[in-house]
A and B are shown apart, each in its own frame.
Chain A
Amino acid sequence: MAVPTKRVPSVKERLAEIKYSGVFDYDSLYKGVYSWFKGRFYDVHETAYKHKTTPRGAEVEISFKGERKQSEWIMYKVNVDFHIWDMADVEATNDGKKQKLNKARMTVVITMEAVFDYEKRFEQKPFYIKLYNLLVDKILWMKLMLGPVDTLYYEAYTLHTEIKKLLNMETAYSAF
């Protein structure tokens, strides 16, 4: 008899993509993103850091992965991937003060994932997996989507807005 599998182990979504080309403060951006995770009690890991020097400037790739056990059954995961091209140092004057900034073009991708039963308690027996499928897929689906998944969705959007503010983008605002 085939072993049943979880039909919906998690809800994963690619939230947003930001493309920016211009002057920004790389240090503030890095620290800002890190602080966002820490301020919300995520366990943050920098899973990738690649730095490559090219004639046009530096190419940098950074990946942050944050995890937080929201309850004994749901875990929140938020990932941020930065890919920066042609990064060069520039000096700018702001209110009479000289600032060391950076000029580059970049892509930022934010993804979120709500993992159900992250401790795999429902995977111990085939009956438990069937029970999990019944509970998550049929009975609790709407409650999960409107509750914890929605909360994570809009929490990840605060990170999206924070990154826009750090880049001094014109549309750095969120009504939610």
Chain B
Amino acid sequence: MEKRLVIKGMLLKYEGLFGVLDLYKLIDDWTKENGYDKFEKESTEYVKPEGKYIEMRLEPYKKVSDYVQNRIVLLIFMKDVKEADVEIDRKKHKLNKGNLAINFDAYLETDYEHRWEQKPTLFFIRTLVDKYIYKIYTQKFESNLKNDVNSLHTAIKSFLNLYRY
């Protein structure tokens, strides 16, 4: 399998009010609506006196064809997360307050079923085809993957902006 790094280290930092569960729901719903499969590699939660520490590694993936797969890697860090009661439009809401950092990486994986790696001849043919013939399609897939990551990034930014006021 070949992994091509399309987006590296796109960072989003936020400090203030936000809903942890609502943020997770947003990411999960976005994953489902955009045809990605869920893969929550690691989920960590430590309860400390200064607040909760939450760390998640989400790797939603999407099989674009039988040869190409999109993979978005989200590293989510939440520090000093405490509960906060907030009044919005005269209604009380239970939210969270803390530090949030999300790192976005995106990979384009080709030959994810390892069918073209079983023999040296096949591997050589795959390399040539990828480099000279399939290049146009790979560029298109990369562009679509960048759009997907930007869409998710924008959705999360819009969500966090809602809690600014």
Contacts and interface: CB of A to CB of B under 8 A. Distances in A.
Interface of A: 16-23, 105, 142, 153-154, 157, 160, 164, 167, 169-176
B35 to A, nearest CB: 12
Interface stretch (B21-29, B125-133, B134-142, B152-160): B21-29
Contacts of B50: none
Contacts of B89: none
Contacts of A19: 42-46
20 contacts: A16-B41, A16-B42, A17-B43, A18-B42, A18-B44, A19-B42, A19-B45, A19-B46, A20-B44, A23-B47, A105-B46, A142-B66, A157-B38, A167-B45, A170-B21, A170-B24, A171-B54, A171-B56, A172-B21, A175-B28
Contact of B38 (A18, A20, A167, A174): A174
A153 B40 CA distance: 12
Given A16-B42, A170-B52, A22 B47 contact: yes
B46 A21 contact: yes
Counting chain B residues whose Cβ lies within 8 A of the other chain, the interface size class is 20 to 34
B6 to A, nearest CB: 24
B25 A173 contact: yes
Nearest to A20: B45
Would you list the 5 A-B pairs with minimal beta carbon distance, nearest first?
A22-B47, A175-B28, A19-B44, A170-B20, A21-B46
Contacts, number: 67
Q: Is the interface of A mostly helix, strand, loop or mixed?
A: mixed
Q: Is the interface of B mostly helix, strand, loop or mixed?
A: strand
B43 to A, nearest CB: 5
A21 B52 CA distance: 10
Given A175-B31, A176-B32, A176-B38, A170 B66 contact: no
Contacts of A175: 25, 28-29, 31-32, 38
A160 B40 contact: yes
A164 B43 CA distance: 9
A19 B44 CA distance: 4
Interface string B4-18: 000000000000000
A170 B96 contact: yes
B81 interface: yes
Contacts of A172: 21
A111 to B, nearest CB: 13
Contact of B45 (A17, A21, A157): A21
A62 to B, nearest CB: 19
B38 A173 contact: no
Contacts of A153: 37
